[in-house]
Amino acid sequence: MPELPEVETTRRGLERHLQDRRIEDVTVRIPSLRWPFPPQLKAILPGQRIARIRRRGKYLVLDCSRGQVILHLGMSGSLRILSAGTPPGPHDHFDLLLDNDTLLRLRDPRRFGAVLWTETDAERHPLLSALGPEPLEPGFDGKLFHAVTRGRRAPIKQVLMDAHTVAGVGNIYANEALFRARINPRTPANRIGLSRYERLAAAVRETLLDAIQAGGSTLRDFVGAEGNPGYFQQQYFVYGRIGQPCRHCGNPIREVRQGQRATFYCPRCQK
DNA sequence: CGCCAGGCCTGCACGC
DNA sequence: TGCGTGCAGGCCTGGC
């Protein structure tokens, strides 16, 4: 389930394999993922060079000679570099054949991902332009977070997961960041003051950076590996730990539902 | 066998 | 009335 750290780990793993490669061919095996594959891709991409791969929230962007491929991994997507000619599995929907006998392959069993094409700046694409600030960049801090939540009465957990508030924070890391900040996930966003938002912004950053670091240690196995970039050594404080002792105070972790999503928290540590 | 996880868009209902 | 906000539904499959 790729959230920002998984997407960033993917980006880092792919970077050196894609940089300055020329696209030779495009293979599309199903008509659409979340949206139809752009019909012009097969005609337009071959011959273009990939200048770099960047990330915005959970989106990846391939900067090509004459436009940008926007990729989203949805809930089950993964990207991999393989040898040209590697037979596709049942959920391998999309390949870019590169000029060094490798291919970039998108696998996505649940098909919530996306492949899009834009010839204007990808930042101006409707999906990316509405995104909130990047949590790992200087533009995101407690002050900003506090300012944009003044009119929001929804619980902080749901506001934190809203990509239009902050980009890239999904369910797992929203739970984890709120634990680290000692904030109860059900607190209305507009009832949290500046100093707690400073804490939360820092907690979001630390949570994401720790997860990227955990993923980074598996990067060397990225190419041709069997599984997804792994997060096996990642230890969660609260996520999925219902009934288990809080790592801070020992009280059992509680689970509630917020907006149809599972929330885990320590009722004693998080006020 | 049925349910649920996950991300995030769309459409709708609501209140100021 | 209009707009921001918040909710629920939908997409899909593997794994329990």
Confidence of residue A217 (pLDDT cuts 50, 70, 90): low
The pLDDT value recorded for residue A32 is 87
The pLDDT value recorded for residue A221 is 41
Give the helix ranges, DSSP H, for A92-155.
126-129, 142-148
A107 is catalytic: no
The pLDDT value recorded for residue A225 is 38
**pLDDT, tens digit (0-9, with 9 covering 90-100), for A14-45:** 999 999 999 999 999 988 888 888 989 999 99
Q: Is the CB of A34 under 7 A from strand B?
A: yes
A157 is catalytic: no
Q: How far is the CA of A108 from the C1' of B7 (A)?
A: 13
**pLDDT, tens digit (0-9, with 9 covering 90-100), for A164-210:** 899 989 888 999 999 999 999 999 999 999 999 999 999 999 999 98
Catalytic, out of A11, A58, A107, A180: A58
The pLDDT value recorded for residue A195 is 95
Q: Is the CB of A31 under 7 A from strand C?
A: no
* CA distance linking residue A229 with residue A78, whole number of Å: 9
The pLDDT value recorded for residue A1 is 62
Nearest nt (C1') from A1 Cα: B6
pLDDT at A269 over 90: yes
Residue A136, CB-side half-sphere exposure with 13 Å CA sphere:
16
Average pLDDT estimate for A215-234: 48
Q: How far is the CA of A154 from the C1' of C6 (A)?
A: 7
Q: Which nucleotides of C are covered by protein (CB under 7 A)?
A: 4-9, 11-14
The pLDDT value recorded for residue A146 is 93
The pLDDT value recorded for residue A223 is 44
Coil, strand, or helix at residue A127? helix
Closest protein CA to C1' of nucleotide C4, residue = A151
Catalytic, out of A3, A6, A8, A176: A3
The pLDDT value recorded for residue A261 is 87
Sign of the CA dihedral with A191 first, then A196, A200, and A201 last: positive
A54 is catalytic: no
pLDDT at A231 over 80: no
A126 is catalytic: no
Q: Is the CB of A153 under 7 A from strand B?
A: no
Average pLDDT estimate for A147-152: 90
pLDDT at A218 over 60: no
Share of chain A above pLDDT 90, in %: 57
Closest protein CA to C1' of nucleotide C6, residue = A154
Average pLDDT estimate for A131-155: 90
Give the mean pLDDT of chain A. 88
* CA distance linking residue A59 with residue A148, whole number of Å: 23
Residue A234 Cα to chain centre, angstroms: 16
Report yes or no: A167 and A254 within 8 Å, Cβ to Cβ.
no
Report yes or no: A174 and A235 within 8 Å, Cβ to Cβ.
no
Which residues 6+ apart lie within 8 Å of A137 measured at CB? none
A179 vs A222, which has greater pLDDT? A179
Closest protein CA to C1' of nucleotide C13, residue = A110
